[in-house]
Amino acid sequence: MNFNQLKPTILLFLAVFLAACEKQEDMAVTNLSDAQAASLTISPSSVVLKKDTKDAEAVKLSLTAADFGYKAAVKNSVQFAPKGSNFASPKEIALDVNVLERSFKGIELNDIALALGIKAEATGILEVRVKSEISTAIAPTYSAVKEVTVTPFALISYVYVPGDYQGWNPATADSLVSVLGDGKYEGVINFAAKPGGSLEFKITPAKAWTVAYGDAGGGKVSTTAGNNLKVASEYSYKLSLNTGDNTFTAERYSYGIIGDATPGGWDNDTNMMYNNGTREWSLTLPLIGGKKIKFRLNDDWGTNYGDTGANGSLDSGGDDISIATSGTYKVTFSLVTNSYSLTKL
C-alpha cells in the first residue's frame, strides 16, 4: 500500500485526535471555571496580645480545601493585609500540603500586626484570606475575606544604666535593649570615669530610682542588692541582663576603624560609638583618599571586617575598603544589617 492509499486513513485519525483534544481542553476550562475556592474561619475574631502569653495560641484558622474540578496537589497560603488595602502588599504564610488548620502564637500574630502597620498598644483590623493554587499557569482562587481585630504589644523593651560615668541620672542614662521583649537585654555602654569618680553603675527598669538592680555576686543581680555593679577599666562594654534568672555579664566590646586612611594608620584603632537604639556603630573622622580602612573588634585582628565585593556589605576578614577622595566622613557600621556606609560631609 502506498502513501496515497494511506492518506485518507491518516487524515481521519488526525481529525479524530484533534477533536478529542479540543473536547478535553473544553472540559478542563469548564472545570477551572467551576473551581470552588477554599472557605475560612477564624477564632477568635478579636484578640488583645500580651507579652506574658506570647507563646500561647492567639488565633486558629480552619479551612475547607479548594476544589479545582479534578485531583491535584493544592498549594494553600494564608494572606494578611491591613483592612482596606485590597491585599496590595500582603503578608503571606505558606501551609503544608493537605494542612487545613493553622494556629498562630501571640508572638507570630504580633509580628504580623506590627509589620502591617498596626501600632503597639493600638487596635487595628487585619483582613485574612486563603490563596489556593495548583499551577503557576492557572490563576489562583481566593477564599472570602475574614477580619480579625488585633491589639499588638510593643515588641522591643528597654532597661537603663545610670552610673558615675553619666552622673547617676536614670532620666538621661543609656539603655539596654530586649529586641524580643523576652527579658533578655543587651547593649553597649562606653564607660569613662570622671576625675575622682568610679566605673560603677546600676540598672533600672524605668528612668527612675523606684527599682534598681545591684550586684548580688556570682554573676547575679538583684533589686534588693545594695552594691553597685562595675567594670574593670575605661572602655566600651557589652552588658547582658536576663531578668528571667537575674544573670548579668559585662565584656569588653568596641569596634574601631583602622587603616592608612585613618589618623592612627595601621597601628592604632579609632574607636567608634554605639547607639543602642539603632544598634549601629558610627564615627565622624578625616580620611585620606587613595588609602584604605577596615573595621575590627577590641583593637585586635581576631575579628575584623572588610568588603570583598566593594558593595557596602560587610565580609568577615574581607578585603580592605578603599577611600576615593580625602575629606571628613561619617562612617557607620552595623552587624544587624551586615553593612557599612561612608558619607563625605
Same domain, 106 and 201: no
Residue 110, in any domain of the structure: yes
In-domain check, residue 247: yes
- Residue 233 CB-density burial (10 A; 0-12 exposed, 13-18 middle, 19+ buried): exposed
Position 136 scores a pLDDT of 76
Largest CA distance in the chain: 116
Instruction: Please identify, among 203, 231, 252, the residue that sits at the C-terminal boundary of a domain.
Output: 252
141 plus 60 within the same structural domain: yes
Task: Give the domain-ending residue among 115, 134, 151.
Answer: 151
Query: Is 202 a member of any domain?
Result: yes
In a domain, 243, yes or no: yes
SS3 state of residue 142: strand
Q: What is the pLDDT of residue 179?
A: 83
Which of 119, 136, 151 is where one domain is finished? Answer: 151
Candidates 164, 313, 182; CA nearest to 231 is 164
How far apart (Å, rounded) are the C-alpha atoms in residues 63 and 82? 21
Say whether both 131 and 168 belong to one domain: no
The residues that bridge with 196 in the sheet, in sequence order, are none
- Residue 37 pLDDT: 84
Residues 63 and 115 grouped into a single domain: yes
Q: Specify whether 239 is located in the same domain as 260.
A: no
The radius of gyration computed from the CA coordinates of the chain, to the nearest angstrom, equals: 31
CATH code of the domain covering residue 231: 2.60.40.3620
In a domain, 31, yes or no: no
The pLDDT, as a whole number, for residue 19 is 47
Grid cell 483534544 in the structure block, residue: 21
Does 291 lie in the same domain as 223? Answer: no
- Tell me the C-alpha distance between 210 and 161, whole Å: 14
Clarify whether residues 59 and 144 are in a common domain.
Answer: yes
The CA distance from 259 to 305, in Å, is: 12
Same domain, 269 and 295: yes
| Domain contains 27 | no
CATH number at residue 78: 2.60.40.10
Instruction: Flag whether 1 is in a domain.
Output: no
Which of 173-207 are b and which e, b meaning 16 or more Cβ less than 10 Å from the residue's Cβ? bbbbbbeebbebbbbbbbbeeeeeeebbbbbbbeb
**Do 165 and 242 fall within a single domain?**
yes
Q: Is residue 7 in a domain?
A: no
Pair (104, 169) in one structural domain: no
Signed CA dihedral, 258, 263, 264, 266: sign only: positive
- Domain co-membership, 273 together with 233: no
What's the pTM?
0.63
Q: How far apart are CA 257 and CA 165, in angstroms?
A: 24
Tens of each residue's pLDDT in the chain, 345 residues: 554 554 555 444 554 454 444 444 443 333 455 678 888 999 999 999 998 898 899 999 998 888 877 777 788 889 999 999 999 989 988 888 778 899 999 989 998 998 888 988 999 999 999 998 887 778 889 999 999 999 999 888 899 999 999 999 999 999 999 987 788 999 999 998 777 778 999 999 999 999 999 999 999 999 999 899 999 999 999 999 999 899 999 999 999 999 999 999 999 999 999 998 888 999 999 999 999 999 999 999 999 999 998 889 999 999 999 999 999 999 999 998 999 999 999
> What DSSP character marks residue 339?
E
In terms of domains, do 245 and 336 share one? no
User: Which residue range forms the structural domain that includes residue 281?
Assistant: 255-344
Burial 273-304 (b: 16+ CB within 10 A, else e): ebebeebbbbbebebbeebbbbbbbbeeeeeb
pLDDT at position 24 is: 45
Count the domains in the chain.
Answer: 3
